[in-house]
Structure 1
Amino acid sequence: MIAPAAKPLRVVLLGPPASGKGTQGRRLAASLGLGYLSTGALLREHVGAGTELGKQAEPILARGEYLPDDLMCPILADWLSRQTGGWVLDGFPRSLPQAVFLDEWLAAKDLKIDAAVSLEVPFSELIARIHDRVECPSCRWTGQKAQLATGGTCPACYQPAGPRADDSEENFRSRHAEFVNLTVPVIDHYRASGQLSACDATAPQDEVAARLLRSFAG
């Protein structure tokens, strides 16, 4: 890990499902000493624990849909209010109203995001990735089958890992359509404000991570 950033950085990580947001978000946050939030992992934890939120979210996630803004925004506000430094957000905002909510929440505290990063991967490669993607339900590590440790265990905590329950191709296509309809306008929103940075995420993970880190550590 390098030294924490000279000032708290607030970064939004955007991209279609399977573009590597989870992997790159965690690596960037660890390298810069920032907090990290994956809304997808947070919601799956709620589903697994059977919380009230999890019960509301489970059928929506099972259909490959995003949670409505009136559920996601309070979850995000609660998490943000408990942060004392910078952060990387993976999976929020996923809609234009969520982006406006985040802008207004930060502006009320005389803050704003430092950058929105869009991970770009062609659709055909995304399809190939979801067929090979695995996740650890214990520590939420995400990667490819070839990265698993002996016996199909997580390389981070050595607990059993396997395909995500929501990674069927039908589900992926539904989530990608939701991304195009809901999140592409968010990308356009940050592009118009001059806060967007695009990143080719088709390279190997280490190369993408190094590229992202250089853009913030300079």
Structure 2
Amino acid sequence: MLNIVLFGPPGAGKGTQSENIIAQYNLVHLSTGDLFRKHLGEGTELGKLAQKYMDDGNLVPDSVVIDMVKDKIASSTDAKGFIFDGFPRTVPQATALDEMLNEFDTSISGMVALDVPDEELKTRLLERGKTSGRADDQNEDKINNRIQVYKDETLPVAEFYDKQGKFNKIHGVGSIDEIFSNIRTVIDSF
């Protein structure tokens, strides 16, 4: 089973490249944002539990997020693999993901990390903000904060996978096709 963590800061091109990876390798896209919307929308027990935390103004605990991921994997038994997009965001989440995947006799094949200079990220996000309608893509202070939060809280996940020999950095500047070609070379080596 091919299980990929797609990684990178806001504006690195994860959304674009995840679509290419899914199409090329026939993987199931696993986005925690999509899982939250599904469980909240369907009013599942996990959705109700997540809603309770959010209603109280708290972050949804990792255990609930992992249970949502586990539910998705369990319901996709015929999958060739998964692409984890936007998850794990912390080392505790990465540890829990490894433990959970072990229950399914599989593991993360590798992390594909898109590396893009900060100035390029800012340019991309401001440009995307012109058409996306996302307020956080239209304000440079918010963009700077998102990049800093990524560096402070999420970047340690790369070190976690690097210690396992699963970290693969891809230069994320160039044409979409050039970047995807480099990604394919890395994935094909897993």
Does the pair score TM above 0.5? yes
Is the 1:48–1:54 Cα contact (8 Å) retained in structure 2?
A: no
Q: Aligned partner of 1:214: which letter?
A: T
Q: Is the counterpart of residue 90 in structure 1 residue 85 in structure 2? A: yes
Is the 1:43–1:57 Cα contact (8 Å) retained in structure 2?
A: no
Corresponding residue number in structure 1 for 2:97:
102
Provide the rounded CA distance (Å) in 2 between the counterparts of 1:128 and 1:87.
30
Q: Aligned partner of 2:140: which letter?
A: E
Give the direction of change, closer, same or farther, for the CA distance of 1:78–1:49 in structure 2 (3 Å limit).
closer
Q: Is the counterpart of residue 26 in structure 1 residue 16 in structure 2? A: no
Give the direction of change, closer, same or farther, for the CA distance of 1:205–1:173 in structure 2 (3 Å limit).
same
Provide the rounded CA distance (Å) in 2 between the counterparts of 1:118 and 1:78.
26
Is the 2:168–2:186 Cα contact (8 Å) retained in structure 1?
A: no
1:57: how far off? 5.3
Provide the rounded CA distance (Å) in 2 between the counterparts of 1:18 and 1:67.
24
1:44: how far off? 6.5
Deviation digits for residues 60-109 of structure 1 (CA, Å, limit 9, x no counterpart): 8xxxxx86524432222222222222011110100000000011001122
Is the 1:47–1:57 Cα contact (8 Å) retained in structure 2?
A: no
Q: Which segment drifts farther, 49-58 or 118-127?
A: 49-58
Q: 1:196 aligns with which of 167, 175, 178?
A: 167
Provide the rounded CA distance (Å) in 2 between the counterparts of 1:169 and 1:26.
27
Corresponding residue number in structure 2 for 1:175:
146
Q: Which segment drifts farther, 112-121 or 36-45?
A: 36-45
1:14: how far off? 0.9
Normalising to structure 2: TM-score of the pair? 0.80
Is the 1:115–1:195 Cα contact (8 Å) retained in structure 2?
A: yes
Corresponding residue number in structure 2 for 1:117:
112
State the 4+ residue runs in structure 1 displaced beyond 3 angstroms: 40-60
SS of the equivalent of 2:165 reads coil
SS of the equivalent of 2:156 reads helix
Q: Which segment drifts farther, 119-128 or 29-38?
A: 29-38
Give the direction of change, closer, same or farther, for the CA distance of 1:9–1:46 in structure 2 (3 Å limit).
same
Give the direction of change, closer, same or farther, for the CA distance of 1:27–1:183 in structure 2 (3 Å limit).
same
Written as runs of structure 1 = structure 2, the 5 A alignment for 1:22-61 is 22-43=15-36, 53=50
Identity of aligned residues (%): 35
Give the direction of change, closer, same or farther, for the CA distance of 1:67–1:183 in structure 2 (3 Å limit).
farther
Give the direction of change, closer, same or farther, for the CA distance of 1:173–1:105 in structure 2 (3 Å limit).
same
Q: Which segment drifts farther, 205-214 or 121-130?
A: 205-214
Provide the rounded CA distance (Å) in 2 between the counterparts of 1:24 and 1:208.
8
Normalising to structure 1: TM-score of the pair? 0.71
1:204: how far off? 1.7
Provide the rounded CA distance (Å) in 1 between the counterparts of 2:91 and 2:142.
22
Deviation digits for residues 147-172 of structure 1 (CA, Å, limit 9, x no counterpart): xxxxxxxxxxxxxxx33243233332
Q: CA RMSD in A?
A: 2.9
What stretches of structure 2 of length at least 5 have no aligned partner? none
Provide the rounded CA distance (Å) in 2 between the counterparts of 1:12 and 1:181.
19
**Alignment length, in residue pairs?**
181
Q: Aligned partner of 1:184: which letter?
A: L
